[in-house]
Amino acid sequence: MPENSDTPDLPKHVAIIMDGNGRWATERGLPRHAGHRQGVSTLRDLLREAVDVGVKCLTVFSFSTENWKRPEAEVSFLMTLLQRFVESDLAELHAQNVRVRVLGRRHNLPRKIVGLIEQAERVTADNTALQLQVAFNYGAREELADAASRLARRAVDGTLDPASITTEVMDAELLTAGLPDPDLVIRTSGEYRISNFLLWQSAYAEFVFTDVFWPDFSIDHLRDALDAYSRRDRRLGGLTNRSEPGSVS
Binding residues for ligand FPP (CB under 6 A): 18-23, 36, 39-40, 43, 62, 67, 78, 81-82, 85, 134, 189, 214
Half-sphere exposure of 240 (CA within 13 A, CB side): 11
Smaller CB distance to ligand FPP: residue 84 or 153?
A: 84
Q: How far is the CB of 126 from ligand FPP (least distance, A)?
A: 22
- Cα separation, 79 vs 186, in Å, equals 23
Least separation in angstroms between residue 147's CB and ligand FPP is 24
Cβ-contact 166, 93 below 8 angstroms: no
What is the C-alpha separation between 10 and 1, in angstroms, rounded?
Answer: 15
Nearest to 81 by CA among 13, 175, 18: 18
DSSP H or E stretch at residue 180: none
The dihedral built from the CA positions of residue 66, 99, 126 and 117, taken in this order, carries a sign that is positive
- Listed in sequence order, the residues at least 6 apart from 80 whose beta carbon sits closer than 8 Å to its beta carbon are none
Cβ distance to ligand FPP smaller for residue 88 or 243: 88
30-36 contacts, C-beta under 8 A, 24 or more apart:
32/74, 33/74, 33/77, 35/213, 35/214, 35/215, 36/77, 36/78, 36/81
Rounded least distance, CB 110 to ligand FPP, Å: 13
Q: Residue 32 Cβ, how far from ligand FPP at the closest point, in Å?
A: 6
Nearer to ligand FPP, 58 or 179 (CB): 58
Q: What is the nearest approach in angstroms of ligand FPP to the Cβ of residue 159?
A: 37
Catalytic positions:
19, 67
Nearer to ligand FPP (CB atom), residue 18 or residue 186: 18
Q: Please identify the residue of the shown chain whose CB is closest to the bound ligand FPP.
A: 22
Q: Count how many Cα atoms sit within 13 Å of the Cα of residue 158 in the half-sphere of its side chain.
A: 0
* Of residues 90 and 165, the one with the C-beta less far from ligand FPP: 90
Strands (E) across 6-108 are located at: 13-17, 57-64, 98-103
- Smallest gap from Cβ 179 to ligand FPP, in A, equals 18
Which residue type sits at 2? Answer: P
SS3 231: coil
Our CB check for ligand FPP shows the closer of 197 and 214 to be 214
**CA-based end-to-end distance of the chain:** 38
